[in-house]
Each structure stands twice: as C-alpha cells, then as structure tokens.
Structure 1
Amino acid sequence: MEPGFVSLDGVSHRYGGIAAGPEGVLAVQDLTININRGEFAAVVGPSGCGKSTLMKLATGLQFPFAGHVRVANQAVTKPVKIAGMAFQAPTLLPWRTTLENLLLPLEIVQPHRRELRRNKAQYVERAEKLLASVGLGGFGSKFPWQLSGGMQQRTSLCRALIHEPQLLMLDEPFGALDAFTREELWCVIRDLHAARGITVVLVTHDLREAVFLADRIFVMSQRPGRILVEKKIELPRPRELDVTFTKEFQDIVQELRGHIVQARQ
C-alpha cells in the first residue's frame, strides 16, 4: 500500500516513568494507518486505547520507539509545521482578545512571525474573515470570558486554521459542549473542510459525530492500541443534520458500537 498524506506504519510507543514500571506503559503497538490528502478521517475506540497518542505521533509531539511516521511524504522528526490542532478545552488566554488569541500562533511560527511584523493589517484581515466564516464576525475585540463555550471553541478552531495548515488535527473538540452547540459546530467544521479541502483527523468518543463528518472511520483496539476496523462512510455529501435520523445512518452507528464493544472485551 502506498503511504497516504498521514502515514503511521508499524508504530509502537510507550510512556515511561517510575509509576509505570521499568518498561513503561505500552500505548500503541504495531499501529498502521494511512489517511489520504484532503480526506476527513475519524478515529474512535475504547477510553485509553491510544487515540490521543496517535495524534501526538502524527504531529511530532511524541516519537515512537518502533515504526515510521510520515506526513506529506516527510519523515516526522520534529513538530509538524503544516498541522493545526484543536482540543476539547479551547485554552484561550484570558487577557487577550479573541483576535489576539487568533494571531498567537503567527507570533510563534516562522515565516509568519517575520511577516506579521511587516504586514499586520493583512493578517488581521485574514483573522477577521476566518472569524466571520464561523459566525463570529464582529467578536474580535471580545475577551474569552465574554464568549459562550461554543463561541470559544469556534475561536479555537479558527486559531488552528489561521496559519493555513494542510492538516487539521481535532482531539475531542466538541466533547464539553451541549448537544445543540455540538451539532452546530459539526456543521461549521463540515463547511470548513469542504471549502478548504484540507486533511482532517478527528479523535472522538461520539460515534454520531464520526459518522456525520468522516469519509472513513478507524476503530482502535484496547491498549496497546492498533487499528481493528476501517469503515468507509458512503453517505453522500454535503450532509445535513437530518441524515442522523435515517436508518442508514443509525445502522452505521450501531455497527461501529458493536466493534467497540468487542474491542473492550
């Protein structure tokens, strides 16, 4: 099989520390996954199966003791600059406005850091357009404490996209939100993916979320994690929320639930 845009081949990784014993805790073992350029992939599985470890390995925040990790045909030996990340907690800096929070990655990552000083107005315009695209036009001057949880998470998504990454990694980004806000943000990320054509990897416990958003879903085993099942989602795009009430959609959710029940045994 040819490597995808994101490729983990026979990867094993463990976490050490005195409490973990002399050899540490094996998080993933012989993990192989290939995600194509422009694809929306979702990763599901039992708690503690190594889903978040997969994200860290793919973005160069951790390095395996066995196997190979490649992104955009490059071996991952350092943090991946072409990736943006969003997590369950928005982690916005409370003393910075929404716009200032958005610009933060540009103050750190080259070449944007250099360019930001020269062309700040251009970058501010880009940030304001991004905010408008997720329904936050006019909120750039607000502080995080003036925003709802859903608005903070939209800001977090924008911050992950501000440097125009080729790869977007989402680690349970909607898990702390109420059901209605969560479904609203499903549509936001659906539209962002369609408009930008970027590669998205979503880690989630929510099977409905995975089926609604993804082109393919990967089911992981109990720790040490590896891929047990790969499921292609044939539901036509663009998908509206009404599709979640159809028998076809529910059947896919039940099939995935069955795989996860088996994985936990």
Structure 2
Amino acid sequence: MTGFVALEGVDHAYGASNQLAVEGLSIEVEAGEFAAVVGPSGCGKSTLMKLATGLQFPRAGTVTVAGERVTAPVKIAGMAFQAPTLLPWRTTLENLLLPLEIVQPHRRELHRKRAEYVARAKNLLTSVGLRDQGEKYPWELSGGMQQRASLCRALIHEPQLLMLDEPFGALDAFTREELWCVIRDLHASRKITVILVTHDLREAVFLADRVFVMSARPGRVVVERKIDMPRPRDLEVTYTPEFQDIVHELRAHIVKARQ
C-alpha cells in the first residue's frame, strides 16, 4: 500500500483477550484526503484511530503513516475527541499551547519561540470564530466554543494528519452543522489529511471525499464509497436528492453489516 495512511491486513485485540476488535482490516487514505469511517457500534472505528496514531499496535498486519511503519505514537498527528477535555485551570489560549509543551521539537523551542506560538494560537482561534476568547477559561465557553478550541489545540503543532473521533456527537444539531463548516474550511485551507470517525452519516457525506463502511466486530472495511459532489459544499447540499440518496445507500450498507 502507498497511501499516506495505510493499514494492511490488520488484526487487533485488547489485552490478553482473544476476541478481535478488528480482523483483516485494510484501508488506505491519500495525502490531503478527507476520509470518513462509519459502521455499527463496536465495529472497531476507534480502534482504527488508535492504530493509525500509534496509541495501539496490531497483533498482525502493518500500519504505516507518511511511508513509515508505526512503532510509536505518531508525532505528525493531531487528535480531537467527542469530549473537548480542556483543562479547567488553564485559559483557552494556555490549553492550545499544551501540546507544544509536550511534543518535540516544539517543547525545547517553546521558551525561545513563545511569541510566535502565541500568535499562531490566536490566529487559529480567529479562524474558528473565537477571536478574543483566548483569556477565557473553558467553563466560560459554550460546548460548541469548547469544541472549536479543541480543534485548534489539535492543529497547533501543524500536524500533517488530523484524526477526529466523534468530535461533534455531543452537540446540538445547529452547532454541529456550524462545526462541519469550520472543519470543512480548515481542511480546504491547510490541505491536511483528515480521518473522521462518526456515527452521523450526513456528517460523513458532507465532509468526506470517501466514506469507508466497517462490518460488525471484528471490524473490517466492507464498502468504500467515493463522494463525487463538488467542493466547497454548502449546507444546502444536504437537502438535495443526490445527497439523501448517498446517505440512504450508506445506511443500507450498515444495516447489512450489523446482520
């Protein structure tokens, strides 16, 4: 496989368990592509994310990112989850800077480049509609604002790969759609590779270049669906027959995958 992110023939189980979370899992995502992964609950979507970022290692098969076999946590990846997990005792700006205090080479350069990193953080906040919110604490922000800040934190070290695990699942419908547009615009402007794990088929079809459908556990890819609708996509496209047809098609695949 030659993709920017590639899993080939991967089996994985947790701990000493012999019950596989994924089996024979193969998936390939090209550089700059926006991929979405959907499937029944417990099918191994989050396991895929952990394998691709080096938080877990497979029992069998290979995982490569940017041409390198994954044998340690992937430094060129940023991650955002359903819960923003911002530290309540740090301001929003300080939360954004946290990865730079941990990830090399930024950690050793933080003191010397602090002004540059602070400017980068402020620019990110501005890009997601949070200008002048950097001095507020997480508890002073709405849920949607916290999730925007979480996205910025995932991007602060300028990763080549962004992994999103149900990042909008806990938000109301209107806020969720607003953030679809935020991540759409971030992907378009930064040209990074994005893998989104989601249960929301509308979200997957609106954002992705390709959608991968996984089987019930042990998970593997059973369907790959290219989304040919032109970019940039406006929210109005979600009400078109073409869009709805793709959503219904994917839903049918998932129903079949659960059987």
TM bucket normalised to smaller: over 0.9
2:15 alignment counterpart? 16
Correspondence list, 1:57-72, <5 A:
57-72=51-66
1:147 alignment counterpart? 141
Alignment gaps of 5+ in structure 1: 18-22
| Aligned with residue 118 of structure 2, among 120, 124, 144 | 124
1:100 alignment counterpart? 94
The alpha carbon displacement at 1:119 in A equals: 1.5
Between the two proteins, the alignment pairs up a number of residues equal to 259
Correspondence list, 1:31-50, <5 A:
31-50=25-44
What are the Cα deviations for residues 183-231 of structure 1, in whole angstroms up to 9, with x where unaligned?
A: 0000000000000000000000000000000000000000000000000
What are the Cα deviations for residues 151-205 of structure 1, in whole angstroms up to 9, with x where unaligned?
A: 0000000000000000000000000000000000000000000000000000000
Given the two structures, how large is their TM-score scaled by the length of structure 2? 0.99
Correspondence list, 1:171-250, <5 A:
171-250=165-244
CA distance in 2, matches of 1:244, 1:198: 24
Alignment gaps of 5+ in structure 2: none
AA paired with 1:146?
E
* Stretch of structure 1 that moved more, 108-117 or 97-106: 108-117
What are the Cα deviations for residues 98-139 of structure 1, in whole angstroms up to 9, with x where unaligned?
A: 000000000001110111111211110000000000000000
1:251 alignment counterpart? 245
2:5 alignment counterpart? 6
AA paired with 2:69?
A
AA paired with 1:210?
A
CA distance in 1, matches of 2:78, 2:43: 23
1:20 alignment counterpart? none
- Determine what percentage of the aligned residue pairs are the same residue: 78
The alpha carbon displacement at 1:25 in A equals: 2.4
AA paired with 1:14?
A
* Stretch of structure 1 that moved more, 224-233 or 24-33: 24-33
Please identify runs of 4+ aligned residues in structure 1 that moved more than 2 A. none
1:156 alignment counterpart? 150
CA distance in 1, matches of 2:222, 2:75: 30
CA distance in 1, matches of 2:102, 2:15: 30
CA distance in 1, matches of 2:142, 2:93: 16
Q: Equivalent residue of 1:26, what SS?
A: coil
CA distance in 1, matches of 2:68, 2:251: 35
The alpha carbon displacement at 1:24 in A equals: 3.3
CA distance in 2, matches of 1:141, 1:24: 48
CA distance in 1, matches of 2:214, 2:9: 14
AA paired with 1:145?
W
CA distance in 2, matches of 1:134, 1:110: 26
